[in-house]
Structure 1
Amino acid sequence: MKTTTFLTTISAIALSAAFSAGVSAQELDYTSMSEMFGEAVTAGATGAPQRASDVPATMIIITQDEIARFPEYDIPGILRHYGGVDVTRYAYGDGQVSVRGAATGYTPRLLVLVNGREVYLDSYGYTAWSTLPVQLDEIQQIEVVKGPQSALYGFNAVAGVVNIITRNPNHGDYTRLRVDAGTDEYQGISFTAARQLGDNIAIRASYGASEANEFAPFADHTTAIRLAGEDPDFSRETGAFEGRFRFTDKINLTLETSFSNVQASEGDSIYYAENTGYTLVSYKGDLEADTEWGFLTLSAYRNETEIEYAFGALTASLNTVRLQDLFRIGSHDTVRLSVEFREGETGSFPDPTNGDFGYETTAVSAMWNHKFSNALELTLAGRYDSVDWSRDGEPNPALYSFSQADYDVSIEEPSYNAALVWRPEFGGAVRLSAARGVQAPTMFDIGFTMPVNLPGLTVVASGNPDIEPSIVTNYEIAYDRSLTSTVTFRGAIFLQETEGVKSQLGIAPDVFPPSVPVPTFLFNNRGDTRVSGVELTFAGRPDNGWSWDANYTYKQVEDDMSLFPFYTPLNFEEATPSHIANGHLGWTDGRFTIDGYANYVSAINMPMQPVFGTLTLVPIDAYIALSMRGAYQINDHFTVAVNAQNANFGDGEVTNSTNQTESRVWVSISAGF
């Protein structure tokens, strides 16, 4: 016990020193700090450096070394191996991710950050994972935070957060080149590099391109909608460039730009398969100053989006500016204050003659962390969002159910996070937490309107200015501890409730003439749902070259939806697997590394709905996926690896309602300097 207390004290002193030195989440030396404390370190939750076991939320930290050992080609593939994370692979490039709930098409409730920039797409409010301008070789760590985190992380963090942090060029030069080739015409290349140019400038650059044959639709599903003239197979090209400038010992500037061009098949929000094209560009800047008033950060970024959906083209932009102050009061209190402004705009979709549409958001937030002792600390955070929507033109009254004035909508909602972390004398860390998150309506939820010509009848699919935000509350007890010097345990019990679930269209119109011009399907709040469950994780790192880990998640879902299936295709009870289990066994000996993975997902019934057709439930049997990777380090610079993903699936396994998930095998040759 004295040794544990001593190490805890040393850790607190070292992390306090990092905080006092004005270390931001992007500047923290994660590798050296993690080696010092024997566990991963983060600054994502509170803004101040913390050990993973001290974070006021249930967090998974996936390190650079762990990422390198997975037989996966994208981030959703990596995330499926961790407890409490639901991943559904709808197509080769479309792995949808959810935390503690069904990973439906265009999953809308997860905030995904790349170096602090949101990659959330305002249209449906989802993340297109294949468009992330990040190569796996340049990731420092991936942080998965579970439960509503709106007050700590910001906009739309209602089911959880995936925080992706790239390697800092200030912490060492590197160059990595990877070439992949495999079955189903898969081929890919990625390049990442970082260089320090003197004492005050460092740069990072990355580029990646890949293509592959798409998964085949299974026999009971119609062929996906394709973009006219487009190849239905998957293709991806992304790049990023970052520059870091140190003006003084206390003032730093980081500038970053990125692009993505992707063609991918996807499972969309109404369980239909379609082919989509993305052209995305981003610009971001962070100015950091360690001042007498605290550690100040001014962040700004712009996301420019062009999306070719199968039923129309959408152009949108998002501008965000945030000012944050992180400071200490005495030696036991840390405070973070921030104000944020967001502006999102899109052309009228899919008919551009009905006026541009968008919103402005102002948000203020505050966090207070108080350390009672090395064994007990409390974190409280609150956020208040004020959102104003508007349309700058009068929509066509022959089709639209709402006038221009109806789109002048204001939404004001608070959110909070509260957590108590206790390190009892018997060992480990106990975490008690409660949270309230706000899922704001998306552009499609409010402003989308599209006429559909049926035989002898025209109907309209319409957004709804009267739709309300969904409110997500979460209550949780978690416990982490080391069982032996080489075995660790993590467990959590949680209850999460969502009020006012927002849903896309059902199979019957919501309103009819004469109250509207034509029969109209509306986006609307459709009811409530709740999920409760248990997560258990064990991991072992013996000293003999072996490593292993295993996790199990149980979830029980109860829906209270409006007249399913007529007014919503959502059915969380049927679409959420009750049992998910994952296992990994690895071995390293000199230059050889071998890793095997198993993923078990219990049976579900997944909704499938052709556009304005009859909604059905597709039975998806329980399945086990087996994957493996073997690597040989030829010398200090070159490594060759053989990857087999879902090796037992053969030509296809039914794991969703659109495409068969196929096995893929590829060889990777990588060079590092």
Structure 2
Amino acid sequence: MSPPYSERWEKTIVPPLPWLQNNRGSAPNTRNHQGKTDIIHFNRTSWHRWLATLPGLLFVSVVHSTEIADEDEFLADIPMVMSATRLPQSVLHSPVSTTILDREMIQSSGFTSIPDLFRLIPGFQVAQATGGHYVVTYHGQEITFPTNLEVLVDGRSVYGNILASVNWNAIGIELEEIEKIEVIRGPNAPVFGANALVATINISTRQPYEETGTWIHATTGSLDTRNLLLRHANTLGKLDYRISLGYRHDTGIDQKPFTQFNGKTFEPGPDFDSTTLGRFSLRANYQATPR
């Protein structure tokens, strides 16, 4: 006869586990340990305890599957870069130090000019030599026209040949037209030549088919800042085009007070250098094969 309030199962003997112990703390009764089928008695109290652990096991399984799904979603958001080797690759596999400014970060920055964005990049310094001339350098090039800094717009170099530098007022795009900026922080001459001896900046604009329609952006602020951008984009069959017309104006840097030397006026500060810029750009893409 079996003990009262107990049940019987037949199974192959395994080493006793803590949750298989009876209510007096001893292991269940077994007959041999040679792999034969024996009868093990499970006390009803122990069986109830074993059942009580099932919800916890199910909870652990659910949490584990959720963590895997979250990890997959996280890995799917890793950005791709082209500027490091001219081949699309994950930023994690980039052989050089790379920083990416995406569209969301650009809009959240609050900046109104493209050079100001590089204040967010480690190692970059941004200054205004005058109200309309920006100086963007990497690792402390203290010159008005920094050299060996390659700047590209959609893969096309805007490096000036006369001054061997970049005129940021002549690149022909506005903040609202930028999709992302890839910055290679370090030499990349094997890919882009001698101009990329210090660093490389690749600005990617939005594709015309991604923003079809007509847009007007207006900005006003201190220092008599008035910015206006009119943009129209459309798709005609395999031809995508975008036309932009921009206007920017501000009073620039205010004149500093005169400095006194021996009671006489000595070297006044910089003159008023207001900035007025007009821009017009046209971009067209032709897709030879269906998208």
Settle same-fold status: TM greater than 0.5: yes
**Are 1:126 and 2:165 counterparts?**
yes
- The correspondence for 2:279, drawn from 224, 227, 238, is 238
**Are 1:166 and 2:205 counterparts?**
yes
Task: Tell me the matched-pair count.
Answer: 216
Say if 1:113 and 1:162, in contact at 8 Å, map to a contact too: yes
- The correspondence for 2:234, drawn from 181, 195, 212, is 195
Report the Cα distance in structure 1 between the residues aligned to 2:233 and 2:193, rounded to whole angstroms: 30
Give the partner amino acid of 2:108.
Answer: R
Residues 194, 52 of structure 1: alpha-carbon distance in 2 compared, 3 angstrom cutoff = farther
TM-score by length of 2: 0.66
Report the Cα distance in structure 2 between the residues aligned to 1:58 and 1:38, rounded to whole angstroms: 19
Per-residue deviation, 1:109: 2.2
**1:206 maps to which residue?**
244
3-state secondary structure, aligned to 1:69: helix
Report the Cα distance in structure 2 between the residues aligned to 1:172 and 1:211, rounded to whole angstroms: 26
Report the Cα distance in structure 2 between the residues aligned to 1:117 and 1:239, rounded to whole angstroms: 18
Say if 2:185 and 2:200, in contact at 8 Å, map to a contact too: yes
**Are 1:114 and 2:153 counterparts?**
yes
Per-residue deviation, 1:91: 2.5
Say if 2:127 and 2:136, in contact at 8 Å, map to a contact too: yes
**2:106 maps to which residue?**
67
Report the Cα distance in structure 1 between the residues aligned to 2:85 and 2:210, rounded to whole angstroms: 23
Residues 92, 70 of structure 1: alpha-carbon distance in 2 compared, 3 angstrom cutoff = farther
Say if 1:204 and 1:242, in contact at 8 Å, map to a contact too: yes
Report the Cα distance in structure 1 between the residues aligned to 2:235 and 2:120, rounded to whole angstroms: 35
* 1:153-194 Cα distance to aligned partner (Å, 9 max, x none): 234111101111100124452543211122222211012332
Per-residue deviation, 1:236: 0.7
Report the Cα distance in structure 1 between the residues aligned to 2:246 and 2:211, rounded to whole angstroms: 21
Say if 1:88 and 1:104, in contact at 8 Å, map to a contact too: no
Say if 1:192 and 1:207, in contact at 8 Å, map to a contact too: yes
Contiguous gaps of at least 5 residues in structure 1: 12-34, 226-230, 251-673
3-state secondary structure, aligned to 2:247: strand
- The correspondence for 1:87, drawn from 91, 110, 126, is 126
| Paired-residue identity, % | 23
Report the Cα distance in structure 1 between the residues aligned to 2:214 and 2:194, rounded to whole angstroms: 35
3-state secondary structure, aligned to 1:80: helix
Report the Cα distance in structure 1 between the residues aligned to 2:150 and 2:110, rounded to whole angstroms: 25
Report the Cα distance in structure 1 between the residues aligned to 2:243 and 2:194, rounded to whole angstroms: 28
Report the Cα distance in structure 1 between the residues aligned to 2:231 and 2:178, rounded to whole angstroms: 10
Contiguous gaps of at least 5 residues in structure 2: 1-64, 260-266
Residues 103, 208 of structure 1: alpha-carbon distance in 2 compared, 3 angstrom cutoff = farther
Residues 62, 187 of structure 1: alpha-carbon distance in 2 compared, 3 angstrom cutoff = same
Q: Runs of at least 4 residues of structure 1 off by over 6 A?
A: none
**Are 1:178 and 2:217 counterparts?**
yes
The structure number with the bigger radius of gyration is: 2
Report the Cα distance in structure 2 between the residues aligned to 1:66 and 1:155, rounded to whole angstroms: 30
Report the Cα distance in structure 2 between the residues aligned to 1:86 and 1:232, rounded to whole angstroms: 22
Residues 103, 113 of structure 1: alpha-carbon distance in 2 compared, 3 angstrom cutoff = farther
Report the Cα distance in structure 2 between the residues aligned to 1:36 and 1:166, rounded to whole angstroms: 25
Say if 2:86 and 2:191, in contact at 8 Å, map to a contact too: no
Per-residue deviation, 1:106: 0.9
- The correspondence for 2:80, drawn from 18, 41, 51, is 41
Q: Residues 80-479 of structure 1 correspond to what in structure 2 (within 5 A)? A: 80-198=119-237, 200-218=238-256, 219=258, 222=268, 232-248=273-289
Question: Higher helix fraction: Structure 1 or Structure 2?
Answer: 2
3-state secondary structure, aligned to 2:288: strand
* 1:285-334 Cα distance to aligned partner (Å, 9 max, x none): xxxxxxxxxxxxxxxxxxxxxxxxxxxxxxxxxxxxxxxxxxxxxxxxxx
Give the partner amino acid of 1:203.
Answer: Y
Give the partner amino acid of 2:275.
Answer: F
Say if 1:87 and 1:103, in contact at 8 Å, map to a contact too: no
Report the Cα distance in structure 2 between the residues aligned to 1:184 and 1:87, rounded to whole angstroms: 19
TM-score by length of 1: 0.30
- Please give the root-mean-square deviation of Cα atoms over the aligned residues, in Å: 2.8
Per-residue deviation, 1:224: 5.3
Report the Cα distance in structure 2 between the residues aligned to 1:142 and 1:160, rounded to whole angstroms: 13
* 1:486-534 Cα distance to aligned partner (Å, 9 max, x none): xxxxxxxxxxxxxxxxxxxxxxxxxxxxxxxxxxxxxxxxxxxxxxxxx
Report the Cα distance in structure 1 between the residues aligned to 2:106 and 2:214, rounded to whole angstroms: 17
**1:396 maps to which residue?**
none
Residues 177, 103 of structure 1: alpha-carbon distance in 2 compared, 3 angstrom cutoff = farther
Residues 171, 155 of structure 1: alpha-carbon distance in 2 compared, 3 angstrom cutoff = farther
* 1:256-308 Cα distance to aligned partner (Å, 9 max, x none): xxxxxxxxxxxxxxxxxxxxxxxxxxxxxxxxxxxxxxxxxxxxxxxxxxxxx
Give the partner amino acid of 1:204.
Answer: R
Per-residue deviation, 1:129: 1.1
Give the partner amino acid of 2:251.
Answer: N
Residues 103, 36 of structure 1: alpha-carbon distance in 2 compared, 3 angstrom cutoff = farther
3-state secondary structure, aligned to 2:196: coil
* 1:123-151 Cα distance to aligned partner (Å, 9 max, x none): 22111112220011010101111111111
Say if 2:131 and 2:273, in contact at 8 Å, map to a contact too: no
